[in-house]
Amino acid sequence: MTLYSAMRRLRISSTYLFLILLSMVMSFPLFWMVMTSVKPQREVFTQFLPRAITFANFDRVWNAMNLPLHLGNSLYVAALVIVIVVITSTLAGYAFGRMEFPRRNLLFYVFISAMMIPAQAILIPMFSYLNSLGLLNTQIGLGLSMTGGSIAFATFLMRSFFKALPSELGDAGKIDGCNDWGVFRHVYLPLSRPGIATVVIFQFMGTWNEFMFSTTFIRTPTLKTIQPALYQVVGRYAIDYTALSAGLLLAIVPILIVFMLLQKQFIKGMTAGALKG
Amino acid sequence: MGRQPRWRKYLLPVAFLAPGALFLLAFMAIPMVQAVALSFQRWNGLDTPSWIGFTNYTNLFQDETFWLSLGNTLLYTVSMVVLMSTLPLIIASMLNSGIRGSATFRFIFFLPVIISLTITGLLWSMIYEPNFGVLNEMLRSLGLGNATQLWLADKSLVMPSIIVMSAWQSLGFYMVIFFAAMQAIPEELYEAAAIDGAGVWHRFRNVTIPMLRSTFIVVIVLNTINGIKVFDQVWVLTAGGPNHASETLGTYLYRTAFGAMGSSNPQLGYATSIAMIILVISLIFSVIQIRVGQANEVEN
């Protein structure tokens, strides 16, 4: 028995040891980035932990690369995509999840087949297409270019969400005198908030972090969203690690805040596709 | 009866589906059809495109850089599949063993996931930088000056370096997926195994692993789909260099279409044929994923 408990203790402590070491390795890049961002420039390569903390780097990069502008651009594009995706996918998800109509399953597969198309496949035609619509190099064009793939996945999520709600609710609504629209508007829509929240978070994350379309479809520097803007300034700050670290950190903050506030929904939103198959 | 109700039956579904369908048509279906057409055309972006049949594809199959980038893409994909279906599994099972602080560990491991691949690439470019980078810096301070490397400039090290970075970024994501799946395994199965005298390893081997079968498939498929189209972090970190040593299908497509640094000879049709290769591979694995998803729904 003592041997058994000794073994058990050994196993638990080695598990802890492994997890702690791994946490150190995993958090090292971010920890180093935070440390570097608050270091005086001359300490970059000599001191691992800063001797004194300075916020001068944040000042420098905030002004030099006009961070508020690019963060604002990203927010604008994200908001545009989120509004379009939430409205269209809630409606379509409801139709597929709660309505009866001929060819429903076939139509559903047509709808979500867009999920399977990688962005690369439509990158080049989208470029000339936006150009012909006069939307190339505009934030509206960039936002619209991202809607196709997003709506498919969001519809998929909203459908499974609506499907999981009990149908007795709708029947009760009908008895109370609601028509089909009323049942949607007053019974199911208020209940779909968690589903919508998942879609919003997923979409915010996807749009905020998007790089390929953003870097290709927008050329004017002042219109650029945050990811391509960061990529662009690297040349300028290639060896100014303090400023670059500060810039990267500031670009992470908005998404980090969302993550901290809504950790559960955030993880659910991100893994929704994987878990629901 | 007859006409009126039938017409009404369609009205609401059509109204609900129309907005989504409109966007899907305009910003997915139309570009997709154009992409297929473009892959059979020669186009520099300015003149009228000309139809050239399968020439883009036959050229592609004789293009050494294409094979090189396909090889790198497969190396990346296979490595990620292997790494992401093992490491996160081990970590998740440790976190699921009832130890304290599990939530804190999960938080730490998940943090890199929320960071964009662009930022990941920029951050790791500071880590891998040979002269000032923190990795070589650390090796030197540990007295391992000989072990310092040109992580991104060395042809044989550049792909492993990119793979390590990507593994760092996505480890937490797959850990959460494995963890959630493990939590769904009924406790009774473990109890029954314990009564039968199964130790930790046997319970893991004979209960956990078989119960995670569909999770494995999901993880493998997701990594394959993401691996085949890998672009952001590679473009930011190396842009496919040095001398195509880290060229992937994604970066090669991009370079061919838009030029790396303002190259003046865009081959948009040719680049689209590379996109079609990525598309076909993704489609195959997406179909597998949907099949597995359906199988799950039936099981449940």
- For residue A195, the distance in angstroms to the closest alpha carbon of chain B comes to 17
Beta bridge partners of B41: B51
Predicted confidence at residue A4, as pLDDT, reads 75
Judge whether residue B158 has pLDDT over 90: yes
Q: Shortest CB distance from B278 goes to which of A22, A91, A118?
A: A118
- The number of beta carbons lying within 10 Å of the beta carbon of residue B188 is 8
- For residue B218, the distance in angstroms to the closest alpha carbon of chain A comes to 6
- Within 8 A of A122 by CB-CB distance, chain B residues are 28, 31-32, 35, 275
Q: Shortest CB distance from A124 goes to which of B16, B122, B275?
A: B275
Predicted confidence at residue A244, as pLDDT, reads 87
Give the residue extent of every domain in chain A: 1-26, 67-275
Establish how many alpha carbons lie within 13 A of residue B263's alpha carbon, considering only the half-sphere containing its beta carbon: 12
- pLDDT band of B298, cuts 50, 70, 90: low
**CA-to-CA separations, A93 to A171, A274, B17, B215, in angstroms, rounded:** 19, 18, 8, 25
Average pLDDT rounded to a whole number, residues A239-252: 87
Predicted confidence at residue B1, as pLDDT, reads 41
Among candidate residues A109, A266, A48, A115, the one with its CA nearest the CA of residue B137: A48
Beta bridge partners of B42: B50
Average pLDDT rounded to a whole number, residues A191-216: 90
Predicted confidence at residue A137, as pLDDT, reads 92
Hey, are the CB atoms on A209 and B118 less than 8 Å from each other? yes
Hey, are the CB atoms on B114 and A123 less than 8 Å from each other? no
Which of B105, B107, B116 is the best residue to mutate to test the A interface, defined by the most A CB atoms within 10 Å of its own CB? B116
Q: Where are the alpha helices (DSSP H) in A38-66?
A: 56-64
Q: Which long-range contacts (CB under 8 A, 24 or more apart) does A211-214 make?
A: A211/B116, A211/B117, A211/B118, A211/B231, A211/B232, A211/B235, A211/B236, A212/A119, A212/A120, A212/A123, A212/B231, A212/B232, A212/B254, A213/A119, A213/A123, A213/A126, A213/A142, A213/A145, A213/A146, A214/A77, A214/A142
Classify domain A67-275 at the CATH topology level.
Answer: MetI-like fold (1.10.3720)
Hey, are the CB atoms on B35 and A125 less than 8 Å from each other? yes
Q: Are B279 and A116 within 8 A, CB to CB? A: no
Average pLDDT rounded to a whole number, residues A25-38: 92
Q: For all residues of chain B together, what is the average pLDDT?
A: 87
What are A228-240's pLDDT values in tens digits? 998 887 766 667 8
- Within 8 A of A155 by CB-CB distance, chain B residues are 20
Q: Shortest CB distance from B32 goes to which of A45, A121, A263?
A: A121
Q: Are A265 and A198 within 8 A, CB to CB? A: yes
- pLDDT band of A1, cuts 50, 70, 90: low
Predicted confidence at residue A277, as pLDDT, reads 40
Judge whether residue A268 has pLDDT over 70: yes
**CA-to-CA separations, B38 to A146, A265, B32, B258, in angstroms, rounded:** 20, 41, 10, 15
- For residue B287, the distance in angstroms to the closest alpha carbon of chain A comes to 8
Predicted confidence at residue B191, as pLDDT, reads 85
Predicted confidence at residue A235, as pLDDT, reads 65
Sole residue written with tokens 């998740």: B92
Give the residue extent of every domain in chain B: 64-299
Q: Which pTM value belongs to this model?
A: 0.89
- Within 8 A of A32 by CB-CB distance, chain B residues are 127, 134
**CA-to-CA distance for A209 and B276, rounded, in angstroms?**
24
Classify domain B64-299 at the CATH topology level.
Answer: MetI-like fold (1.10.3720)
